[in-house]
Amino acid sequence: MNESNSQFEQRKRDHIRIALDPRSQTDGQNGLDSINLVHEALPEMDFKEVDISTSFVFQKQTILLSSPIFISSMTAGHEKGREINQALARLSDRHQILMGVGSQRRELEDSNAAEEWMAVRKQAPNAKLIGNIGIAQLIHTPIDKVQRLIESTEAVGLFVHLNPLQEALQPEGDRDFRKGLQAIENLVKTVQIPVIVKEVGCGFSTLTLKRLQDAGVFAVDVSGKGGTHWGRVEGYRSEESDLLYKVAQTFSNWGVSTLQSMLNAKEAQVNYQLWASGGVRNGLEVAKLCALGASQVGIAKPFLEAALAGDEALENLLQKLELELKIAMFCTGSKTLKDLQTKWVMS
């Protein structure tokens, strides 16, 4: 369904407002409470030796990062979104962490929308940005237009978002997902940056993770159930008397948890990097996901709340998350993130 610019902007404003509503959260459903890191009472190391830096290599280019924590994609294409993205990009620039940009869907039809990212780049020239396209848009978009999305953000990677439940419950939703896997394969063969396939909060089954094995993707962000639930968000955009509102209540807990999605990836024995997000709220949960094999761990809602409060709040949040991660590593005797991968048990 075609939207006017004003309709698009209103939808994005609705998304921010409703995503911050506690009713849109599936708190406690990410499954990570059942993972315990093994306490080491005698670490035999100095806390200063804990190293949370990481990197990834693509086509001989190495991207150095200060930590595995990244800012998950949230919003774009409206005035408040510009302010949020500029604040988040400045944080990425200062600390060299990855940032997934908000929706670039509007740019596919309106070339002027790319100005948002030009403004971001002026404030954060060294931010590590990852572009954003939905699978429903990718299927119907010529590769040269996708390339322009990458160029407008000067992206170091590209997220392809999979969101069937959200599109099904969205009044303006694009529900044609035919030839989605083929579109991903074509994209990987064409662009010169890593392609990361990502859910938006409903996770992945073992079968779907296996189907992506031969697509050539660089990584999959499992983005499981446990945080903002976009089925709920779209439902709350409708009036209580509307059909989509009522149907959204039926699917309010739909999805595969973040933990189960990670375990599914282990069962699938995937050949691409695993990234993880979905209800991650503190550095201990980041540590647990790194222990489970995640190379990068995304956080959205806490960064959104902090961005709305200003740069100081963002600094304080990142400092807290990274200190929690370091303490979890120190108390398991892990000097590096790789060391963590032998330090977990399920209760």
Give pTM, 2 decimals: 0.94
211 is in an annotated binding site: no
pLDDT digits (tens, 9 = 90+) for 116-140: 899 999 999 999 999 999 999 999 9
75 is in an annotated binding site: yes
Q: Which of 69-78, 148-157, 195-204 has the lowest mean pLDDT?
A: 69-78
- Residues 200-234 have pLDDT tens digits of 999 999 999 999 999 999 999 999 999 999 999 99
Check the annotation: does 74 bind a ligand. Answer: yes
Residue 2's pLDDT band, with cuts at 50, 70 and 90, is low
| Residue 111 vs residues 77, 143, 263, 274: alpha-carbon distances, Å | 12, 15, 41, 33
Q: What percent of the chain has pLDDT over 90?
A: 84
- The one-letter code for the residue type at 135 is I
For the record, the structure tokens of 311 come out as 């740069």
pLDDT at position 77, please?
53
313 marked ligand binding residue: no
Digit-coded pLDDT (tens) for 100-111: 998 898 898 887
> pLDDT tens digit string along 311-320?
999 999 999 9
CATH superfamily, domain at 5-22+31-346 = Aldolase class I (3.20.20.70)
Q: Which residues pair with 54 in a beta bridge?
A: 65
Task: For the chain, give every domain's residue range.
Answer: 5-22+31-346
Whether the Cβ atoms of residue 52 and residue 337 lie closer than 8 Å to each other: yes
Strand partners, 273: 219
The one-letter code for the residue type at 59 is Q
- Distance between CA atoms of residues 196 and 129, nearest Å: 13
Flag whether 103 is marked binding. yes
Q: Beta strands 344-346 and 296-299: pairing type?
A: unpaired
To the question of whether residue 223 is assigned a binding role by annotation, the answer is yes
